[in-house]
């Protein structure tokens, strides 16, 4: 069990490569495109870099509120923003390359194909082939955007989420198809940059994600309204066309909902016109092309994602899979891919660890940010808990007032009798950082009393968690 080949250099793959090398394995990391994967090149990091520009612009526009005199006519300079985004990704990718060199992880550029647990074939762009012998294989090839026939991407007017990270100007108007995590994040970013934004969402709420508490969806929808972002709920885009340099989207009622769940206004057909249409949250597809799964005897589910057991091993002994390639039945987030990488490496070394999915925090970089961990109020009730909920408003915190960031709420969900924390749902500035405390509390089986007995520094935003715990 000395030699490991990892296919895919995203957060799952590079974490597995580094962990295995640190544990003494001889590691080859096969990457078809760029180290860092979706997360570093077109996902988490680029989006958050654009978001940082949007926030800087919003803060500058509020200069007078902070007692700063003078005029300030700032606007989004997209080529400069995109250049900064590329620099950030390049810097981080450079760091990964250095770590590979330091840990003696051999990086092979090309497309990997699994022949067996002891052989991976790599085909380079120039057609040359290298065969890598080993003892174990970890597949971490991730996922890509799914394009729909109703949104014929032309990369100019009808864009994928990747295209929208590379815009050379701010579109005067943009239709975002999908009000899930990525669509919501983009809506606030482009609104801050000056676009007129409309979000079309097929479900009854913005952020219709199981882990997102309904109160957080309602809060974000209110903030969208305040920001001037139009929202079309319970609707879908049936077709799009480009006419005279504009996108015309033909809307109809959502096919995902029963008819009686769709309000009358949303049942009507209609059209929306904008300079650009962004096809965002219609889903992801697994990167399995050319991996040779069927030939190697590796099973997939009906959507093509790789099937693994609790130890993340495929049906072929010695071949493991981690990250987005496991699909939405598990959790498609960068930090989950990282967590799974550690489990898979331990098991490659003879361990029997199982991947755990009950305490997985998640962050949404909207304005304000939203973050959650554990059960929503609704999920906790469905599971039969006698649920107690406590909330504390962001605006009641001294630090929030000082910072001028007022919208937001801290919501804790607990078992009434024992006070055991079941879930935490935060919205507000830095919510994505603040969730870490409650994730640790959940992981350790802590109660709201434990949180309330922990002294929190003043004045900080973390006091919101403390205050919500005290409300019990």
* Interface ranges with ligand FAD (CB under 6 A): 7-13, 30-33, 37-39, 43-44, 47, 111-112, 140-143, 161, 182, 287, 290-291, 323-325, 332-335, 337, 363
Q: Give kind and range of the element (H or E) at residue 60.
A: helix 44-61
Select 37 or 407, whichever has its Cβ closest to ligand FAD. Answer: 37
Select 324 or 437, whichever has its Cβ closest to ligand FAD. Answer: 324
Least gap, CB of 429 to ligand FAD (angstroms): 16
CA angle 91–96–98, rounded 5-degree value = 95
Cα 269 to Cα 251: distance, rounded to the nearest angstrom: 6
Least gap, CB of 145 to ligand FAD (angstroms): 7
Among 153, 462, 172, 385, residue whose Cα is nearest residue 278: 153
Q: What is the DSSP letter of 305?
A: P
Dihedral sign (CA 335, 338, 344, 349): negative
Cα 331 to Cα 335: distance, rounded to the nearest angstrom: 9
Q: Where are the alpha helices (DSSP H) in 62-176?
A: 78-102
Q: What is the four-CA torsion angle of 464, 191, 161, 301, rounded to 10 degrees?
A: 40
Dihedral sign (CA 456, 460, 464, 465): negative
Least gap, CB of 258 to ligand FAD (angstroms): 30
Least gap, CB of 112 to ligand FAD (angstroms): 4
Cα 278 to Cα 164: distance, rounded to the nearest angstrom: 7
Among 121, 118, 108, 112, residue whose Cα is nearest residue 139: 112
Locate tokens 């989950």: which residue? 336
Q: Give kind and range of the element (H or E) at residue 282.
A: none
Select 37 or 277, whichever has its Cβ closest to ligand FAD. Answer: 37
Select 338 or 469, whichever has its Cβ closest to ligand FAD. Answer: 338
Select 389 or 442, whichever has its Cβ closest to ligand FAD. Answer: 442
Least gap, CB of 292 to ligand FAD (angstroms): 9
Least gap, CB of 326 to ligand FAD (angstroms): 8
Contacts with 52 (C-beta within 8 Å, 6 or more apart), sequence order: none
Select 47 or 236, whichever has its Cβ closest to ligand FAD. Answer: 47
Active site residue 34: no
Select 107 or 388, whichever has its Cβ closest to ligand FAD. Answer: 107
Q: Where are the alpha helices (DSSP H) in 123-213?
A: 181-193
Active-site residue among 155, 352, 453, 458? 458
Are 405 and 429 in contact, with CB atoms under 8 Å apart? yes
Select 142 or 428, whichever has its Cβ closest to ligand FAD. Answer: 142
Q: What is the four-CA torsion angle of 32, 36, 41, 47, rounded to 10 degrees?
A: 150
- Verify cis geometry, omega within 30 degrees of 0, for the bond prior to 368: yes
Least gap, CB of 325 to ligand FAD (angstroms): 6
Are 234 and 203 in contact, with CB atoms under 8 Å apart? yes
Locate tokens 């962004």: which residue? 278
Least gap, CB of 279 to ligand FAD (angstroms): 12
Among 250, 288, 247, 245, residue whose Cα is nearest residue 271: 250
Task: Tell me the catalytic residues.
Answer: 458
């Amino acid at each position: 069990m000395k030699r490991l080949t990892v296919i895919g250099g995203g957060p799952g793959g590079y974490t597995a490569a580094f962990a295995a090398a640190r544990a003494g394995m001889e590691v080859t990391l096969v990457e078809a495109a760029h180290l860092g994967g979706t997360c570093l090149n077109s996902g988490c990091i680029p989006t958050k870099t654009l978001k940082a520009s949007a926030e800087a612009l919003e803060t500058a526009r509020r200069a007078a509120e902070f007692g700063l005199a003078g005029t300030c006519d700032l606007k989004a300079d997209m080529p400069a923003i995109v250049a900064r985004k590329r620099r950030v990704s390049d810097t981080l990718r450079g760091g990964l390359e250095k770590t590979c060199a330091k840990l003696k992880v051999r990086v092979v550029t090309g497309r990997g194909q699994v022949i067996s647990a002891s052989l991976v074939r790599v085909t380079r762009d120039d057609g040359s082939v290298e065969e890598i012998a080993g003892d174990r294989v970890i597949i971490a090839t991730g996922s890509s955007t799914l394009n729909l026939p109703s949104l014929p991407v032309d990369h100019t007017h009808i864009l994928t989420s990747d295209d929208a990270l590379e815009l050379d100007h701010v579109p005067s108007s943009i239709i975002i198809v999908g009000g899930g995590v990525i669509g919501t994040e983009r809506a606030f970013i482009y609104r801050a940059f000056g676009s007129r934004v409309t979000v079309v969402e097929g479900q009854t709420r913005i952020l219709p994600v199981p882990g997102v508490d309904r109160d957080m969806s309602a809060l974000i929808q209110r903030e969208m309204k305040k920001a001037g972002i139009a929202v079309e709920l319970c609707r879908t885009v049936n077709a799009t066309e480009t006419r005279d340099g504009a996108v015309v989207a033909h809307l109809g009622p959502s096919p995902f909902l029963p008819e009686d769940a769709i309000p009358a206004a949303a049942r009507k057909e209609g059209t929306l016109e904008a300079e650009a249409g962004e096809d965002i949250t219609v889903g992801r597809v697994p990167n399995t092309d050319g991996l040779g799964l069927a030939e190697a005897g590796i099973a997939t589910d009906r959507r093509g994602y790789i099937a693994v057991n609790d130890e993340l091993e495929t049906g072929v002994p010695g071949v493991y899979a981690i990250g987005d390639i496991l699909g939405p039945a598990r959790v498609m987030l960068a930090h989950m891919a990282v967590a799974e990488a550690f489990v898979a490496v331990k098991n490659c070394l003879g361990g029997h660890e199982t991947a755990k999915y009950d305490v997985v925090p998640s962050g949404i970089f909207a304005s304000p940010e939203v973050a959650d961990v554990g059960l929503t109020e609704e999920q906790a009730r469905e599971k039969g808990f006698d649920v107690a909920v406590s909330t504390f408003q962001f605006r009641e915190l001294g630090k929030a007032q000082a910072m001028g960031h007022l919208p937001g709420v801290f919501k804790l969900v607990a078992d009434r009798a024992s006070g055991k924390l079941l879930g935490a749902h935060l919205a507000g500035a830095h919510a994505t950082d603040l969730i870490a405390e409650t994730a640790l509390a959940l992981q350790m089986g802590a109660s709201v009393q434990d949180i309330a007995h922990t002294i929190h520094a003043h004045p900080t935003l973390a006091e919101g968690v403390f205050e919500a715990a005290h409300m019990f």
